[in-house]
A and B are shown apart, each in its own frame.
Chain A
Amino acid sequence: MKIVLDRVNVMRDNFSLTAHGEFSDGVHLVSGAVGSGKSTLALAIANVLPLESGSISRCGIESMMLSLQFPEYQVTGLTLADECFSWGCEPAEIFLSSEIQGKEHQSPFTLSRGELKQLHLSCVLNKHYDLLLLDELFSSMDCEKKQKFCSRLSQRTKSITIIFTHEQAILPKVDRIWEIIDGVLHDRGVPPAAIERWCGAPPFIKKLVASGKTPRNISLNEVLEAACRT
């Protein structure tokens, strides 16, 4: 499975984004500052935004899901149980993993945005998609939940998972790092070499790289291991 972006150009109002590269099986991180065009790229790959020029080829991809930044925009059920069904999931297994048992008959809007995001991600990650696009998946979540979803993401090796985020603290183990700077998508390559080329890396990772302790990957465990390295 792979997605090939061939000299893609997307326009959104006055903003222009250019992307060229190939996304294969594994977890990809697309980082960039707020307003850099991450959501625009996610929408373009999901075939929601029309391309100005270039093309996107999807090889071997039969199922795709885009998780939007704000979970309330993807709510279509009147109750939490309906919402789980709308994702094709059994409420019982979702409620076990998202810690909101006993609220099956409540409206999704009785939850806080963080809880709703948690439910939304539990439903999304519960299903297999050949291509999974996660736009700002860590927004509105506490550190504990971020860690929990990071470990779930690391298990997705037989599909393409692309994470679009400006998160600087807790990140999952990834197979490739990409970066959007000034409206252009840059391929930084495979970790650990990619970490040294990553301009928008979190400050503590940059500090580790500067002191010659480049972590093997960007997950918290690997960063801690590098920090404790003598």
Chain B
Amino acid sequence: MQDVRIRIGAGTLLCCAAFVSLYGAAAVFLWLLIFTPRLQSLRRLRLVIGTVVMIGIISLLLQVINGSGFSYFIRVTVIILIGLWVAGEYQPGDFLNLGVWLLGTGIGFDLGLVAEMGMQSFASLLDDLDRIRLAYSLKRAGLNIKSVIPTGTLLLHLELARAQDNAELLAVRGYRCGGQLTPGFTTSVLDVIAGLSVIVVLLIAVFPFVNFLYFDSELLRGLL
């Protein structure tokens, strides 16, 4: 999906749809299979597996506590897939264009810049993690439970140092707030079709939810 406006809009609505109900999560999953490059979006499979395992553990706890773990697992996994798809399709400058288009050259530019820097930091963080992994392997230590605190500290330090460098660079270049930018977007027919089909997904997600609320309120009225 080339148009970042449709991508972010669709991503937001799909997240809501997946969270609202299991029907919604199933419909979103189907949407992802039809309109996205599927597994090609999953650039870092180990990271994805790690995240899913983490959600699995929380879901297991929820299942034991109140029996909602299965539903939670499905819904949150689908939301993670949406996030991975949005992140995978990201092109540098997307958020700056979107911010200025949405909120103008003042606050829109600032928010877009923050989002761009966030995406840049995320990419750097993954590179840092690779280098740390290499350092441990060269020292024949290996990443394990003991190395979590030093690794976290190191990642934090590198990220803060980078943030300071960026802040100094912006200050040196005279940045105070806002900026001039003419946003440009490329919209394909497929983007529009995918965007419109999100409405269908939303309807599938919301209607059982509305029915549930209706049923619930009827039940409550009956009880009262």
Chain A interface (Cβ < 8 Å from any Cβ of B):
46, 48, 65-66, 68, 72-78, 82, 86-88, 107, 109
Contact present for B131 and A76 (CB under 8 Å):
no
Listed A/B pairs (14) with beta-carbon separation below 8 Å: A75-B135, A76-B136, A76-B139, A76-B141, A76-B147, A76-B150, A76-B151, A78-B149, A78-B150, A78-B153, A86-B139, A87-B139, A107-B153, A109-B157
> How near does chain A come to B140, taking the closest CB pair, in angstroms?
9
Count A-B pairs with CB separation below 8 Å: 41
B132 within 8 A of A: yes
Q: Does A48 contact B134, Cβ atoms closer than 8 Å?
A: yes
Complex contact B150–A77 (CB within 8 A):
yes
With both beta carbons as reference points, the residue of chain A lying nearest to B134 in the complex is identified as A48
Query: 4 closest Cβ contacts across the A-B interface?
Result: A74-B135, A73-B131, A109-B157, A78-B150
Complex CA distance for A76 and B150, rounded to whole angstroms: 6
Q: How far is the CA of A87 from the CA of B135 in the complex (A)?
A: 10
Chain B neighbourhood of A76, CB < 8 A: 132, 135-136, 139, 141, 147, 150-151, 154
Given A78-B149, A78-B150, A78-B153, also A72-B139 (CB < 8 A) = no
Q: Is B190 an interface residue (CB 8 A)?
A: no
Known: A66-B138, A86-B139, A86-B141. A73 touches B132 (CB 8 A): yes
User: Chain A residues near B161 (CB, 8 Å)?
Assistant: 109
Asked, given contacts A78-B150, A86-B141, whether A73 binds B135 with beta carbons under 8 Å apart, the answer is yes
The verdict on B181 contacting chain A, using a C-beta distance below 8 Å, is no
A66 to B139, CA, bound (A): 9
B192: CB under 8 A from chain A? Answer: no
B158 within 8 A of A: yes
Give the CA-CA distance A87 to B140 in the complex, in Å: 9
Residues from chain A with a CB closer than 8 A to the CB of B135 are 68, 73-76
Question: Chain B interface: which size bin?
Answer: 10 to 19
Query: Which of A65, A68, A73, A107: most chain B CB closer than 10 A?
Result: A73
Which residue of B is nearest A86, CB measured?
B139
Residue of B nearest to A79 (CB): B150
For B132, list chain A residues within 8 Å (CB): 73, 76
Q: How far is the CA of A73 from the CA of B158 in the complex (A)?
A: 9
Nearest chain-A residue to B140 (Cβ)? A88
Complex CA gap A65/B147 in Å reads 20
Q: Are A75 and B154 in contact (CB under 8 A)?
A: yes
Q: Are A74 and B153 closer than 8 Å at their CB atoms?
A: no
Please indicate the chain B residues that have their CB under 8 angstroms from the CB of A48 in the complex.
134
A88: B residues at CB distance < 8 A:
139
Could you tell me which residues of chain B, from 82 to 136, have a CB within 8 Å of some CB in chain A?
128, 131-132, 134-136
CB-defined contacts of A65 to chain B, threshold 8 Å: 138
A86 to B147, CA, bound (A): 11
Chain A: CB-nearest residue to B153: A78
| A-B contacts besides A68-B131, A75-B154, A76-B136, 8 pairs, CB < 8 Å | A68-B135, A73-B128, A75-B135, A76-B135, A78-B153, A82-B150, A87-B139, A88-B139
Instruction: Give A41 Cβ to nearest chain B Cβ, in Å.
Output: 16
Bound together, the chains give a CA A56 to CA B51 distance in angstroms of 36
Q: How far is the CB of B157 from chain A (nearest CB, A)?
A: 5
B136: chain A residues within 8 A (beta carbon): 76
